[in-house]
Structure 1
Amino acid sequence: MIHQFKQNGVNVVLDVYSGAVHTVDDVVYDVVSEIDRVGWEVAKKDSFACLSSLDNTYSRQDIQEAMDDVTELVEEGMLFSSDPYVDMAPAIGNKETVVKALCLHVAHDCNLKCRYCFAEEGEYHGKRALMSAEVGRQALEFLVANSGKRRNLEVDFFGGEPLMNWDVVRELVAYGRELEQSHHKKFRFTLTTNGILLNDEIMDYLNANMDNVVLSIDGRQEVHDRMRPTPNGKGSYDLILDKFKRMAELRGQTRYYVRGTFTRENLDFAKDVLHLADEGFQQISIEPVVAGDKETYALREEDLPKLEEQYELLAREMLAREARGDGFTFFHFMMDLSQGPCIVKRLSGCGSGCEYLAVHPSGDLYPCHQFVGQEEFRMGSVLEGVTRRDLLDRFKGVNVYSKPGCQDCWAKFYCSGGCAANAWQFAHDLHGNYELSCHLERKRLECALMMQCYRA
């Protein structure tokens, strides 16, 4: 399987199964396209017959030289390669897994009233609640007990707004450090915050104790204030911007992200990314909203051309800024072509429901933060452990080969089949796909590949 596209004056050919990326001239690009149409086995037997449609565009010598280049790449396993992973999927689903990460919902409460919040202002289909220190300690003990021989463990403090339960966050970090010593583990703590409660003392603590901090801001003030108001209806942009700037500087412009959401009300979201860059942030993520069709701000299929244009515009501008020496990182354009994730990660994704679990303030376990509060997905608790082995097995069995919609998709080893929660919400099937998200993911990957080719 191959994927070809042209963007920003670059002709790109991706060999899906080897992962090889080729920047080629027009003749090679068109020759590869014709070979892909008829099949390599047919083309190599009588190349000129199958490439005759190109005779009016290129000379026979140019076509032959391009064919020679393609043949060399095929023989090296870098073009039209076969699938080496298809037999691995069942083994991945059957292997014993260990828990490596928890999302601790320390606060099912929030001090903002974001219009697009999937967590219902932090309530998650239930009532407002704060996690007790006792439940939090039990969660960390559960993680240690179920992590097997894995040494490095991850814990994300999440909400709602986790700073509304700040004393418990600090107590759990301290307890985690005790467990590190007694069990030979290493915790990587992260925290996601809307910034309202940040102050100098909290920022200094986060800088010293959190491996990563996610700072929620949507971009331009008018966009942010429209979607992320306070309970009294006023905007929150002015309450957080300077705090976030200081947080980014305290961390040396690393180990953080300013993370926003774009909706149908700001389809020109590239302006929001660039606004954050102009404000001095160097680690930026702006995500498409996930919402049902009934919501006026939900993205629709007819928005895709505009969104594709925005991603391409952003990619070009990022390259221009890099050339001037004032570049920044955009999360969805990050790509490591030399190594990247291991094959298990490529096939099965984030590990939700098996390697990664979310903890309700009560201690109940769910496959991830987006399933929290959905009783049919309650997997057990931090005290009793995982009691729904059927759910565990269902999530373990989800991979790119179990999803019909992924079989012919060139991007499957980059997105790993997409988000399980989104698949359930929009297809009501863990093995389904959220097609709009798939479309945007493919466009982001094309932009990232183009940028890598420019940098090479």
Structure 2
Amino acid sequence: MQPINLAQIQPRPGTQAFFRWRQIADDAVLITNYEGNFLILTGEEFASYARGDIAPDSELHARLSEHNFLRASYDVQAATERVKARRYFVHGGPLLHVMVVTLRCNETCVYCHASRANMDAVETDMSVETARKAVDLALSSTNGFVTIEFQGGEPLVNFPVVKEIIEYATKRNQEVGKRLEFTMVSNFALLDEDKLQYLLANKVQLCTSIDGPEQLHNAQRKLPQSHNAFQAAARWIKRVNEAYEEIGLDPTLYHVEALLTTTKATLDQWKEVVDTYVSLGCKTIFLRPIDPFGFAERARLRLEYPRSAYLEFYRNAVDYMIELNKQGVEILERYAAIFLTKILRGEDPNFLDNRSPAGAGIGQLAYSYDGKVYTCDEGRMLAAMGDDVSLLGDVDTPYRKIVGHETVRAMTIATNLDQQPDCVSCAYQPYCGTNAAYNYKSQGSVFGRMRDNNVCAVHKGIQDYLFEKLAENDPQVMEIFQRWTTIRPREHFVQEPPVGIES
């Protein structure tokens, strides 16, 4: 790919509205503007635009004007509304409240981000008193929608406190009046029919981890006494999906979501990973790179890889998923869906690690088993590694003091891409985001350095891939991408506030 030689272009000041650009193919240049509109131009069209010599009666002029790329016809009100729509979450307050009910876990994962504790470490269980105070703090959020997410360790290890949180939060919400949702991230190995029926009755959305085919999954996520972690998860994925159908839920919408952690061993198994998810009835794969938290740091040499290798894995996997969709198999990749929703719809799906500013403190809070409160789950992981940089207080700290903490302000500033040195000129800035805790862990600063930042490399690489596909404009692929951006809320899991009570 030969880069456009801007030295040969003489811009005409005042013709173009603000824009950023990136070459995405030999004869395709992406331009984006502040509010996130985009166009893909040929090299000749881009040169004309940059020089400002576009004929007023040309098709190109009309296209640029329609998408707000010309100064003379720039629609300030339309741009304002589009930016407001993209940043709707800024003043909402924390909606995600991660509750770590225990550090104990029955699985030993080679990359464990949560710094698990052994099954006999009962001192790492959250108490009922702490749980109730955590719920009170969560329901103090200014956000009208509150999601309580159970994590660990393995949350089913401390199921009595999970039940206490569900029942206490549901009762308290009769007075508070939030839209309330519960989710659980579990390996399912401790699930049984009684627990499942309780979780179904209380509308708890279930998520698990599948690292790919059985051999790979079992090598990375180990159960004691030679139990098969993959088969345990697979059996309960099938049972939970059956249970959803039994209560009349649409199986295309209501099904177990599964998460993948991509290690070095995953990279050449992209086809097997996708086939495994499809065989389990999963409709979504989240091809997440490994994070540098918890045990993953200790096993870095065995697990880590260049992000260029990850991006090759990503392209292969998503190409294959697109081909499966063409054959009628419903499967999407979560990163692609997040970015495409921003690119094609001008909407932000509010994935907290990939928005500007990010969700630390203003979109989520994490409650450790001991009552300490952190900006985010990654911040809690940093604390488990000996660094309390993300600590905001504890469950006895007033809500306003938690969200008004100087660390929340610092992380909000650091993840606002409008002032990130490398992001301000990046064509992907309207669709991107960064993670302050990751930046701090990997680069020593909540701001990070984007030009040698692994998260930035992944985000750019994925968006390069997506815009290459958009430039090709294959009708089948475009239809698949549009389908991936269709947001269908799972309203069954949302508990509405009592009639007449609103937060």
Q: TM-score range by the shorter chain?
A: 0.7 to 0.9
Q: Is it true that 1:192 corresponds to 2:180 in the alignment?
A: no
Q: Deviations over 1:205-225 (max 9, x none)?
A: 333434532211101112111
Question: Which SS does the other structure have where 1:3 is aligned?
Answer: strand
The alpha carbon displacement at 1:289 in A equals: 0.6
Offset at residue 277 of structure 1 (A): 1.4
Q: Which residue of 2 aligns with 1:261?
A: 261
Residues 139, 173 of structure 2: 8 Å contact kept: no
- Following the alignment from structure 1 to structure 2, what is the Cα–Cα distance between the partners of residues 11 and 155? 44
Match of 2:458 among 423, 428, 440: 440
1:96–1:79 distance in 2 versus 1, CA, 3 Å: closer
Residues 2-401 of structure 1 correspond to what in structure 2 (within 5 A)?
2-6=21-25, 13-22=30-39, 28-35=41-48, 40=50, 43-45=51-53, 68-79=58-69, 98-122=93-117, 129-145=124-140, 147-148=141-142, 150-210=143-203, 212-231=205-224, 235-251=228-244, 252-255=251-254, 256-271=256-271, 272-291=273-292, 292=297, 295-301=300-306, 304=308, 306-334=309-337, 335-336=340-341, 337-341=344-348, 348-372=356-380, 373=383, 374-385=387-398, 386=401, 389-398=405-414, 399-401=416-418
For the Cα contact (< 8 Å) 2:289–2:310, is it kept in 1?
A: no
Amino acid at match of 1:136: A
Structure 2 CA distance for aligned equivalents of residues 455 and 204 of structure 1: 40
Post-superposition offset of 1:97: 6.4
Instruction: Report which stretch shifted further, 206-215 or 281-290.
Output: 206-215
Deviation string 1:301-348 (CA, Å, 9 cap, x unpaired) is: 3x51x3333322223222222222112122111022224118998863
CA distance 1:384–1:406, shift in 2 (3 Å): same
Q: Residue 431 of structure 1 aligns to a residue in which SS?
A: coil
CA contact (8 A) 1:153 1:188 kept: yes
Separation in structure 2 between the aligned mates of residue 342 and residue 216 of structure 1, nearest angstrom: 22
In structure 2, the residue matched to 1:54 is: none
* Off by >6 Å, runs of 4+ in structure 1: 80-85, 342-346
Specify whether residues 134 and 450 from structure 1 end up closer, same or farther in structure 2 by C-alpha distance, changes over 3 A only: farther
Rounded to whole Å, the distance in 2 between the matches of 1:107 and 1:384 is: 21
Output the amino acid matched with 2:311: E
Q: Which amino acid aligns with 1:435?
A: N
- Does the alignment pair 1:404 with 2:417? no
Q: Gaps (5+ residues) in structure 1?
A: 48-63
Alignment-derived partner of residue 444 in structure 2: 428
Rounded to whole Å, the distance in 1 between the matches of 2:225 and 2:147 is: 36
- Give TM-score scaled by structure 1 length: 0.80
Q: CA deviation at 1:450?
A: 5.4
Per-residue deviation, residues 103-131 of structure 1 (Å, max 9, x unmatched): 101111111110111222258xx995111
Alignment correspondent of 1:52: none
Match of 1:413 in 2: 430
Q: Which amino acid aligns with 2:336?
A: F
State the match for 2:478 in structure 1.
455
Distance (whole Å) between structure 2 residues aligned to residue 349 and residue 210 of structure 1: 31
Instruction: Pick closer, same or farther for the CA change 1:253–1:242 going to 2, 3 Å.
Output: farther
CA distance in 1, matches of 2:298, 2:153: 24
Secondary structure of the corresponding residue to residue 239 of structure 1: helix
Q: 1:22 to 1:231 in 2, by over 3 A?
A: same
Deviates more, 1:212-221 or 1:373-382: 373-382
C-alpha root-mean-square deviation of aligned residues, in Å? 3.4
5+ residue gaps, structure 2, are 1-19, 245-250, 480-503
Change (3 A) 1:359 1:277: same
Describe the SS at the equivalent of 2:286.
strand
Shift of 1:448: 4.0
Query: How far 1:174 moved relative to its partner?
Result: 1.3
Shift, 1:16, TM fit: 4.4
Q: Which has the higher contact order (CA 8 A, sep 6+)?
A: 2
CA distance in 1, matches of 2:185, 2:194: 17
* Deviation (angstroms), 1:294: 6.7
1:231 positional shift: 4.2
For the residue of structure 2 that corresponds to 1:317, the secondary structure is helix
| Alpha-carbon shift at residue 33 of structure 1 (Å) | 4.5
TM-score of the two chains, using structure 2 as the length reference: 0.73
Aligned residues with identical type, % of pairs = 20
One-letter amino acid of the counterpart of residue 340, structure 1: E
When residues 431 and 183 of structure 1 are mapped into structure 2, their CA distance, relative to the original with a 3 A threshold, is: same
